Structure 1
Amino acid sequence: MDAKALIAAYYDAFNAGRTDDMLALLHDDVEHHVNEGKIRTGRALFAEFNAHMTESYRENLTDMVIMANEAGDRAAAEFVVNGTYLKTDPGLPEANGQTYRLPAGAFFTIRDGRIARVTTYYNLADWMAQVGA
């Protein structure tokens, strides 16, 4: 599977809520660089993060544009996050079903045909304003 198809499959699984399919596309020692957060290494920590996110947020990504370098070992995606804040996340405003629409992007490293790094960026201040902080 080429880099663009790999990233498309990852986000298709995300939008369908198939986190196990997302995990299957990750390298065993994947590095997950979370916006405004610590780097998590390995599939287990990625799965833990996904479980938390699924409990606190319902999101669907639209306006997806995927780019990759010629070597196929680096990729990027730009998209819009359309979400609902379901459960209060510690340290963030109280959740009461607020909706948000947030431009975002992600960068990827690909190794051995799997995603070895995911780095996600979005404007946290924009999100906070949208959920009423």
Structure 2
Amino acid sequence: MSANSQSAAAALVQRYYDAFNAADVPGMLACLSDDVTHDVNQGGRRSGKALFGEFCGYMERCYKEQLTDIVVMPSSDGSRVAAEFTVNGTYLSDDEGLPPATGQSYTLPAGTFFDIADGKISRVTTYYNLEDWIAQVTGKAA
């Protein structure tokens, strides 16, 4: 692989985040392989675009989020990408197993790891500190 692969991988992930920030789920899905693997923070693994799209719909109902300070870091061969960013959000509607939503705001550091294959994202694995998020939305120290 070459610097072109590295640049293409970084551009693909940036398009994914641009679509995320525009609440453009079809744009996000366009960046993904049909058999994408999605690992949810402290949750299960989903496979395929359809389940990823369902997850996005659920997230849009419960949360309004914008990502800032995005830093995209591709591997030298462009097969993997890491991204670090800040999640700026509002908790809109109760998410099962989490505190009640009352429109609370939160700011949370997070990161995602991606696999890239055949010009598409084939894995999305996101991590953030859930206890920090809970402390922010409940007003209790972590």
- Residue 105 (structure 1) aligns with: 111
Alignment of 1:24-103 (within 5 A): 24-103=30-109
> Max radius of gyration: which structure?
2
Query: Hey, what's the Cα distance between the residues in 1 that align with 2:73 and 2:123?
Result: 15
The yes-or-no answer on 1:130 pairing with 2:136 is yes
* Count of residues in Structure 1 that have an aligned counterpart in Structure 2: 133
- What is the TM-score normalised by the length of structure 2? 0.92
Percent sequence identity is 59
- Residue 3 (structure 2) aligns with: none
CA RMSD of aligned residues (A): 0.9
- Residue 4 (structure 1) aligns with: 10
Unaligned runs of 5+ in 2: 1-6
CA displacement at 1:128 relative to structure 2: 0.2
Unaligned runs of 5+ in 1: none
CA displacement at 1:70 relative to structure 2: 1.4
Runs of 4+ deviating beyond 2 Å:
none
2:51 is matched by which residue type in structure 1?
L
- Residue 120 (structure 2) aligns with: 114
CA displacement at 1:59 relative to structure 2: 0.1
CA displacement at 1:97 relative to structure 2: 0.1
- Residue 4 (structure 2) aligns with: none
